[in-house]
Structure 1
């Protein structure tokens, strides 16, 4: 019942997301990060999405998609929610179930919960280059996210209040493990 109420209450949330700003420390809502020693991605918050611009170092052919998964630190919701600044621009990985998804041509915004707990939400900005190879991300899918911490993001809930959650921006193809067993 709780899951149903949360899902219903949050359905409108992502629709209002584009009107909300980023609460991370970047004053101009842009940020850049070194996703590997050879490639940079810059991000600009616009229309509810972080748009990426990849700048490849001409001295290497390595891309962030070739970055080894062992280079990502696994983090729990508790770790990233308590100290989001500790993970800003650091390669992290999380696994969780999709609660909400909003697709566009520029990418996808996902609200992901961990450990079947609707209070452990993480927002993930999936760049269009990092979409799973097996198709679109759907609600109740279990995802493994590879990216970096980007502070927190506020959004308006369906009930009219606001919620602030950790934000992760992908820099490697998302692994979509299909529908979560806990969704059945």
Structure 2
């Protein structure tokens, strides 16, 4: 049985960044809104698959965090059958700015794929780079680049040699839907 949750959603949602975090929230604040995705996954055997997706970002927890929902393929008739077997993704990321380290703690969860990842995100030049370690010990790097008000490229890369070399595993080309 589905129960409406307006009190929960109202408690989670924030109208904007918390004033006590200053401009530090800007690193990810530009993402607030909805994005259409063109997703390419690169397999170890050299093959790839491409799908559309959707990504939504909002202020949460009194404006001290940004949460997203990432859905591939987008909701609708394209999402059918066994989600995990079809390579579908429906996850959420919580990004929390930590003024003590001047960086962001990032926790991504995808209950479809049973994936749970933790990273630290910082600005690097014109990009945003999130670094962490996969459960199998590989290093991971997720980055936002070619950032404009209405588009960006997001890449997930893996390294089996401690960050000496990187292999591209997923790339999203994002385009803003509507206004922020």
Q: Greater Rg, structure 1 or structure 2?
A: 2
Q: Tell me if TM exceeds 0.5.
A: no
Structure with a larger share of its residues in strand? 2
TM-score with structure 1 length normalisation? 0.28
Tell me: higher relative CO, structure 1 or 2? Use CA pairs within 8 A at least 6 residues apart: 1
Greater helix proportion: 1
